Amino acid sequence: MSQFYEDVYQVTCRIPAGRVTTYGAIAAMLARPMAARAVGYALSALPEGTSVPWHRVINAQGRISLKDRHPGETGLQRRLLEREGVVFDSEDRVDLRLIGWVDPAEPE
DNA sequence: ACGATGACGTTAT
DNA sequence: TATAACGCCATCG
C-alpha cells in the first residue's frame, strides 16, 4: 500500500456522515492539487466491504462519477448518500456549498 | 523505462 | 446544458 493511498483513505475517513467532498479537494489536502484523478484511482482500489466512506467523495460538479456496475442497480453511491440525508436536485447534483466538507484543520 | 488507463478538473466550443 | 480537448497524477502491463 503506497503512502498516497493511505493518505487518501485517511482523509476520506474524516468526512462526516451526511457531508461530501470532491476528489480535487482531497488531492489539495494532500498537497497535490492536481492529483484529483489519482485520488479516484485510489478509491477504486477499495474492497466492497471497506469501512472507508468512499461514497462521500464526488466530483467538483457535485455529481457522482461512478457508473452503475450491474444493470438494475440505480446508483449504489447515491442511495448510500441519501441514506445519510444528502439531497440530490432534479439534475442529480448536490449543493456542495451546503454539504461540501472541508477539513477544518487544513489552513486555506 | 514507456505508453496506456481512469470514481478528475478546467476551459473552450 | 452538453461535448471535446487538454493537462495532471499514481499505477499497471
Q: Which three cell numbers stand for residue A67?
A: 457508473
Cα–Cα distance for residue pair A54/A8, rounded to 1 Å: 10
Nucleotide nearest to A91 (CA to C1'): C1
Determine how many CB atoms are found less than 10 A away from the CB of residue A21. Answer: 23
- Are A63 and A92 in contact by the 8 Å Cβ rule? The answer is yes
Domains and CATH numbers, chain A: 3-99 (1.10.10.10)
Walk along chain A (108 residues) and give the pLDDT tens digit of each residue: 899 999 999 999 999 999 999 999 999 999 999 999 999 999 999 999 899 999 999 999 999 998 765 555 568 999 999 999 999 999 999 999 999 999 988 655
- CA–C1' span, A32 to C8, in Å? 10
* Nucleotide with smallest C1' distance to residue A59 CA: B8
A52 in contact with nucleic chain B (CB within 7 A): no
pTM (2 d.p.): 0.92
Question: What's the pLDDT score for residue A74?
Answer: 66
pLDDT confidence of residue A68: 66
